[in-house]
Structure formats: C-alpha cells, structure tokens
Amino acid sequence: MIERDSAVYFATTNKHKFKEASSIVTPYGIRLKRLDLEKHEIQANSLTTIVNTAASEFIKNGVARAVLTDDSGFFIDLLNGFPGPYSSFVFETIGSRGILKLLENASNRKASFQAAVAYCEVRRSPISFTGAVKGIVAQESKGNSGFGYDPIFIPKFGDGRTFGEMSMDQKNRFSHRAKAFTHFCKWYTTRKKSGLR
Amino acid sequence: MIERDSAVYFATTNKHKFKEASSIVTPYGIRLKRLDLEKHEIQANSLTTIVNTAASEFIKNGVARAVLTDDSGFFIDLLNGFPGPYSSFVFETIGSRGILKLLENASNRKASFQAAVAYCEVRRSPISFTGAVKGIVAQESKGNSGFGYDPIFIPKFGDGRTFGEMSMDQKNRFSHRAKAFTHFCKWYTTRKKSGLR
C-alpha cells in the first residue's frame, strides 16, 4: 500500500504548470514534486494513450515510484478533432490564423480544450483522467494573455470573452487541466481511504 | 561483421510498401524480409528522429538483428513545413480540401514529399537516409490514383500532372521513399565491401 505521505512526481518542464497542479492537489493532501523531464511522447489520436504511455515509460525507466504525466489539445468539431494531439505543432506552423482560415464562413464553430492526466506506479498499469472545456472558435483573435489558441477560444462557461481576454486565475479555475487533475485527486484520495490499490 | 547473406528486416504492415522497397534493394544484393509490426512512433518535427527512435526500439526489444524503419510526410514551404510528420492525421481530419483552403490565393505553393529511412543493428546507433521530391501544390485536386495528398501535388520532374494522375510505377521510380532507400543501399553495400562496421 502507498504510504500516506509518499510524494507523487509530476513530470513537467513547465514551472507554471507545476504550480497550477500543486494548487489543485495540495488541498487533497497529496504531496506533489516536480520531475523536470520531457515526457516520452508517442503519436496517437487519443490524449489518453499518449499520457498513459509516457507515464509507463517513466516508471519503466525507474525515475520515480509514482508519476503523473499530462497532455492537452484543442479539438474542433467541424475539423474532426483537428488539431487535437498535435496542437503545438499546428500552432507553430499554421497558427491561429490558419485555424480561422479553415473555419471561414463555417457556422458550426464548436470546439473544446481537452486534457488527460495519467498516473502510474511501480508494477501497475497507468490509469488516466480527463477534463474538457467546451466552447466555440471566435470569428477573430481577441486578447493577448494566455498561450496558443487562447485568443480564438470563447468558453461556454464565460461571458463571451476569449480565453485570451481572461486572467490566468479565471482561466485556471475552470480549465480542462484543472478538471483532469481534480478527477485524479478524487480517485487517489478515495483509494487511500478504502485501502484499495 | 555482418554476414554477406544475413537478412535485413523492414518493419512495415503495408505489403505494397514492402514490395516497392524490395524492388529497390534486391538489385544491390540485399535480402529484405518483412517485419509485420507497427513501429513505435514518437512525436517529433523531424522524420529522421522519428525513424531513428523506431529502429532503435525494435533492436532494444530484440525483434531482429538488423532493422529498417521508414516514415514520410508532405511539407509545405509557406506553412512552415505543415503538415510534415503529422501528414496522416491532418489528412484524416482536414484532408486535401483543408490544405487547398489554407493555400487559397497563395502564390508560393512550393512543397515536397519527404522520406526518411533508418537502419539499426544490435549494439549500434541507428543511421538514417533521406529522400525528397520537390514540386508545388496544385490549384485543385486532380486524379484519383495514389494516396493522401497525391492528387494535389505536382512534382517538378514531371509534365505538370499531379501524382494522382500518374501510375504507381511512374511515381515510385522517382519517389522520395525510393531515393531514401537507394541512399541506404549505397551506404550498406559500400560498408560491406570495405569491411567497415
């Protein structure tokens, strides 16, 4: 059984992401440490497959006894989930301008930010948790805070502003990643209480 | 030293691709066998990194003593190499129509099909070989032979027809993949003759 105070290692080279994750898991009594390593990232259409493989790989290589990995992407309904798992590459090449061009005159502008988090322990299969924020692709880029596709995404939960027009705090509170981490926390703490492995 | 008659395993689940590769390497006296397995495919902007990792992985897992892996993609100059290593996913989601839309009214339509082949042996680092076919993206899709982006690509070496309007034979003879395999063959046979490893 996992000891109550054993740390979980979150593999990320991004300090801000680590801080965001910490602020979510700490209230659940989970001690998070940062593993400053790039994850092993395979090509797959499903974020879940990507994070599961990455978490297993860390465990296989013996870097920690309990590891969390995460991945996220921007999925556009009309474009069959494009850019999805390859959102970074697509952003670096065609950018938000390319996305707006692809959706020119499109009436179905539904999209979502999706996140997957995988947890893996020594001698265990990985288990994954997901989160999503639904919304639409804006007609034009608005706001310059945030990363990537933030300025062209208007979340459903908001007041019509894009993610790019919101503060980091407003965004993080309801983010796809926060949701996935919260699902993990609920599972993790329930498991501890029940003594289940 | 490798024995003169030892086989090289080409990892591909595609019989046609295997046949095409066989027809290139056989004249060089290389005995090619098919390894009917999907390669381990990482996310990377470079085809070379992708095939090297895949070949190393096969060797690490002990599936053969000498393995070839390949990958290819469609790279558009104006779009910073998009869709590149993720050509299959992009084709399945936004398709050729999406590509034509992104290039609407663009005067720079330069593009290339690129291929990389990696060769790896037990206890060796992988070595890779590349090939490319230059051309332009057509104004509209033409011809229905071939796969993926073939109907929207007009190679420089041709007479203005798209890859989709050419026979498999015409295309294969000058293909990016054929070029990469030929580079491999030249290296492999030179090495054998010189007794170098």
- Sequence-ordered strand ranges (E) for A17-82: 32-35, 66-76
| CB-based contact A86 B89, cutoff 8 Å | yes
Residue type, B169: D
- Residues from B in contact with A at Cβ < 8 Å: 40-43, 45, 79-86, 89-90, 92-94, 98, 101-102, 104
Token pair listed for A29? 């009594």
pLDDT tens figures, B135-150: 999 999 999 877 799 9
Task: Compute CA distances B35 → A62, B4, B65, whole Å.
Answer: 30, 20, 12
In this prediction, residue A153 carries a pLDDT of 97
Q: Which of B53, B74, B94 to mutate to test the interface with A (most CBs of A within 10 A)?
A: B94
The CA distance from B175 to the nearest CA of chain A, in Å, is 25
Using the beta-carbon criterion (under 8 Å), do A82 and B104 form an inter-chain contact? Answer: no
Low-confidence ranges of chain B (pLDDT < 70): 1-5, 195-197
pLDDT for res A178: 94
Cα–Cα dist A113/A91, whole Å: 14
Tell me: the pLDDT tens digits for A102-115? 999 999 999 999 99
Widest CA span in chain A: 56
Residues in chain B within 8 Å Cβ distance of A42: 40-43
Axis crossing angle, helix A95-102 with helix B95-102, rounded to the nearest 10: 120
Cα–Cα distances (Å) from B179 to A8, A146, A148, B46, in that order, read 48, 44, 37, 17
Q: How many CB atoms lie within 10 A of CB A37?
A: 16
Distances in whole angstroms, Cα of residue B166 to Cα of each of B74, B139, B174, B177, B189 = 18, 17, 12, 16, 32
B117: left (phi over 0), alpha (psi -120 to 50) or beta: beta
Q: Is A148 within 8 Å of A176 (Cβ atoms)? A: no
Contact A65, A6 (CB under 8 A): yes
Classify each residue of B16-49 as buried b or exposed e, where b means 16 or more C-beta atoms within 10 Å of its C-beta: eebebbbebbeeeebebebbebebbbbbbebbbb
- pLDDT value at position A195? 60
Assembly ipTM: 0.87
Which residue bears the tokens 């790019």?
A164
With contacts defined as CB-CB under 8 Å, which chain A residues touch B42?
A: 40-43
C-alpha–C-alpha distance, residues B181 and B174, integer Å: 11
| Chain B residue numbers touching A86 (CB-CB < 8 A) | 43, 86, 89-90
Any idea what the Cα angle at residue A103 is, between residues A100 and A107, rounded to 5°?
Answer: 130
Low pLDDT (below 70) residues in chain A = 1-5, 195-197
- The pLDDT of residue A136: 98
Measure CB to CB from residue B86 to each of A81, A89, A98 and give the nearest one.
A89
pLDDT at residue A168, rounded to an integer: 82
In this structure, how many other beta carbons lie within 10 angstroms of the beta carbon of residue A4?
Answer: 8
Relative to beta strand B66-76, strand B83-84 is antiparallel
Q: Nearest CA to CA, how far is B40 from chain A (Å)?
A: 8
- For residues B91 and B103, the answer to whether their CB atoms sit within 8 Å is no
Q: For domain A8-194, give its CATH number from 3.40.50.300, 3.40.50.720, 3.20.10.10, 3.90.950.10.
A: 3.90.950.10
